[in-house]
Each structure stands twice: as structure tokens, then as C-alpha cells.
Amino acid sequence: MPIYETVFVLDTQLEDSARDKRIQGVLDFLSRHAERVIKTDRWGNRHLAYEIKKRQQGHYVSVQYETSPAVVPELERIFRLDDAVLRYLTMRSEEKIKEEEQITAKEEINRAVQEGKESEEGQEGA
Amino acid sequence: MLSKKARKARKAKKELDAKGKLDRKMTKVCRFCEHKELRIDYKDERTLKRYMNERGKIIPRRMSGACARHQRAITSAIKRARHLAILPYAAEAFR
């Protein structure tokens, strides 16, 4: 399944508890519908490059997760309905997949090498 | 690790240098081709800022020295960063 990365920006005028509730809501949604959540990264409050809804600052959160593509529009629907979400962006992250592929490829090579050694040893023993 | 293209460009540069004809701008190699491990990421504000002028405009390829593929990647990364208000669409007027 593809891996996605979503960054969303929350209103900083929100109470801390309300903000945490929203972040938790997103994570809950993902844990219910996504295959797995790989990483969540709270960048915290950042200065916005330009004003959005009269706000100078935004609370940035990024989530990386693996899911079927059908879940993404559902998640974005949640963002769209919530006025406290100033911005959101979902991208497919190719990088992570490549890394994983590399790891599995490496493992396969290692396994092949080891199997080769073992068979050699077996021949020597016989 | 240098890519084939970067190595070739380096060689051409050296030859020109030997002849004393080196024009730096002419033989500039794309940074992202030269260093394969560098990634262009829309979250990387500092790197992307180097490809914008003070007004917030994207620097053209002839000045940034990026190859076609990487210039395209830079451009789309900057546009994504702009959407998230990580980078400005235009530099703010003085207040």
C-alpha cells in the first residue's frame, strides 16, 4: 500500500486541549482506517509566511502513514469541515518506500549469501 | 558519489580550466546532480529559500544552475511550501 504524508496547520488561538483533541482525532481516524501510522511529527507553532484568516502563526503537524488511497479523501474531508484547520497537504512519499525496498533487497542479498555459505558448508561436511 | 553527467561536466570544466578559458557560470553543475544524497523536500524551508529571490520569486534555471529535472522538482516543492505558508507567495510589503 502506498505511503502518504499529510501536513496540516491548526489555528494557534485554539485552546491547547482542543488542539490536542483534533490531533488525536486525526490519529484515531488513521488508526481505524489506515494500515499503519508510521510517524507523527509536531513541528509546533511556526510563523506563517503570510496571513491566513488573520492569523500570523500556525501549529504544524505532520503524519506519515500507509493506507489505501480511498482513505485520503475521507481524511481531507475532516480537514475541510473544520474551521480550525488553516491548511493541509497530502503527498505520496516515495522516499520511504524506496528505503524499505532497499532494506528488503539488502536482506534478500544477505539471505542469498548466507544460504550459499550454508550449502557450501554442507558440501564440505559431506 | 557523482553521477555520470556530473563527472562529465567536471571533466569538461577541468579541460577548460587548463586552457584558461573557464567561465564559472557556463560550466556550473546542478547541485542535486552532483550530490545524489540531497533531496528536494517541500518541508525544507532553508534549502528552498536559496532558490528564491528577496521578493519571493523562484530563481530561473539560468541563474540557479539546476538541471531541468531538479529545477522542476524545486519549483513544485516551492509551490507546495507556499500552499502551507512555509514560504511566501510574495515578500511582504514593509509595515
Cell numbers standing for residue A85:
484547520
CB contact under 8 Å between A49 and B42, yes or no, is no
On chain B, the residues whose CB falls within 8 A of the CB of A102 are: none
Average pLDDT over chain B, rounded to an integer: 82
Average pLDDT over chain A, rounded to an integer: 84
- The verdict on pTM exceeding 0.80 is no
- B70-74 long-range contacts, CB within 8 A, separation 24+: B70/B30, B70/B31, B70/B32, B70/B33, B70/B40, B73/B32, B73/B40, B74/B40, B74/B48
- Could you list the residue range(s) of the whole structural domain that residue A54 is in? 3-92
* pLDDT tens digits along B3-12: 777 777 777 7
On chain B, the residues whose CB falls within 8 A of the CB of A89 are: 42, 80, 83-84
Q: A81 and A40, same structural domain?
A: yes
Predicted confidence band at A126 (pLDDT cuts at 50, 70, 90)?
A: very low
Which residues face A87 on adjacent strands? A9
- B74-82 long-range contacts, CB within 8 A, separation 24+: B74/B40, B74/B48, B76/B42, B77/B40, B77/B41, B77/B42, B77/B44, B77/B48, B78/B42, B78/B48, B78/B51, B78/B52, B80/A89, B80/A91, B80/B42, B81/B42, B81/B43, B81/B45, B81/B48, B82/A49
Predicted local confidence at residue A82, as pLDDT = 92
Q: CA separation (Å) from A105 to A27, A102, B80?
A: 31, 5, 32
Q: Does B83 score more than 50 pLDDT?
A: yes
CATH of B40-95, one of 3.40.50.300, 2.60.120.10, 3.40.640.10, 4.10.640.10: 4.10.640.10
Residues from A in contact with B at Cβ < 8 Å = 7, 9, 46, 48-50, 52, 58, 60, 62, 86-87, 89, 91, 95
Task: Provide, rounded to the nearest whole percent, the portion of chain A with pLDDT above 90.
Answer: 67
CATH number at residue A15: 3.30.70.60
Q: A57 and A18, same structural domain?
A: yes
* pLDDT tens digits along A61-103: 999 999 999 999 999 999 999 999 999 999 998 755 555 555 5
Q: Does A25 score more than 50 pLDDT?
A: yes
Q: What gap in Å lies between CA B86 and CA B49, rounded to an integer?
A: 10
Predicted local confidence at residue A11, as pLDDT = 94
CB contact under 8 Å between A49 and B43, yes or no, is no
Predicted confidence band at B91 (pLDDT cuts at 50, 70, 90)?
A: confident
